[in-house]
Amino acid sequence: MTTLHNAPPGLARRILSSPPAGVLVLGFILLRMMGLNTDVMTSYAGEPLKSVQHIMALAIAGFAVYIGYAQFIKQRSVSELALPGMGRELGIGLLLGAGLYTVCELILMALGIYRINGLNPLSYMMPAIAMALSSSIFEELLFRGVLFRSVETWFGSWAALVVSSLVFGLTHLINPQGTIEGALFIAVEAGILLAAAFMLTRRLWLSIGFHMAWNYTQSAIFSGIVSGNDAQQGLIRSTMKGPDWLTGGSFGVESSVLALVVCTTTGIVMLVMATRRGKIVPPIWKRPA
């Protein structure tokens, strides 16, 4: 009787399945697709429904590329995108994102800094849907799905948190009103929170939901500046006058002390929960043989 053995992977597959290659190859593909998203939103700026349709198609393609790379190149299951429990985690993320941003604005209202002048038609809430879908899905696939997981494979969860947070924050310097201060605030408040969401659940749905709702609430409801991008009119017509350390200045509320405290505190709570549940991966040299 002949016993069949799985053939060892070839050199090309071993190289492509390594963490650095994953960052370079899969990261490059996802970056290119993010560029296509920007082109779509620019091309269909006056047609929000078409923009959403195209972004959804690109998002499906992005998920397919990510899953295909994991299954055919790395030959692993894609547990971070497993469907069981997706609705619950995505829903919690949506509630957290919308809730935490609303808390920031309510504090600014109480201080007399954010003033509501009236309401725009509901149609003003449509254009931000494409932006929120694009940023949440592709940035979470790239920064948590690819970068965080790749660094964690060799250097553990804490190194992955630091690296992914810094890179995530610094990429916001390319936005029209990007600032060093804003990028560092994003690295701390959002980088820690989004990485903690992944560490706690070991899946991407919670971070995708938070990212999506935060950006959408900021733009579509409160007409705020999103991460140094140009402000767009949403549901609420408003004025904001106050010190930059509270308003975030030209970068938006994300560069304010309010967002820093609210989001970082939430991220730290999730990190503590992840640690207590044994979800922290040690560096490769500290793992049992």
- pTM for this structure? 0.93
pLDDT interval class at 8 (50, 70, 90): low
Give the rounded percent of residues in the chain with a pLDDT score beyond 70. Answer: 97
> What's the pLDDT tens digit per position in 144-163?
999 999 999 999 999 999 99
| H-assigned helices in the chain | 11-16, 19-21, 27-43, 48-68, 86-110, 127-139, 149-170, 180-185, 191-201, 205-216, 244-247, 257-276
> What's the pLDDT tens digit per position in 158-211?
999 999 999 999 999 988 888 899 999 999 999 999 999 999 999 999 999 999
Averaged pLDDT, 219-232: 89
Q: What is the rounded CA–CA span in Å between residue 98 and residue 35?
A: 26
Q: Which of 62, 72, 66 is nearest to 12 (CA)?
A: 72
Q: What are the Cα distances from residue 236, in Å, to 111, 140, 177, 249, 253? A: 18, 28, 22, 19, 16
Helices 48-68 and 27-43: crossing angle in degrees, nearest 10, is 170
pLDDT interval class at 9 (50, 70, 90): low
Statement: residue 251 has pLDDT above 50: yes
> What's the pLDDT tens digit per position in 64-116?
999 999 999 989 999 999 999 999 999 999 999 999 999 999 999 999 999 99
Averaged pLDDT, 236-251: 93
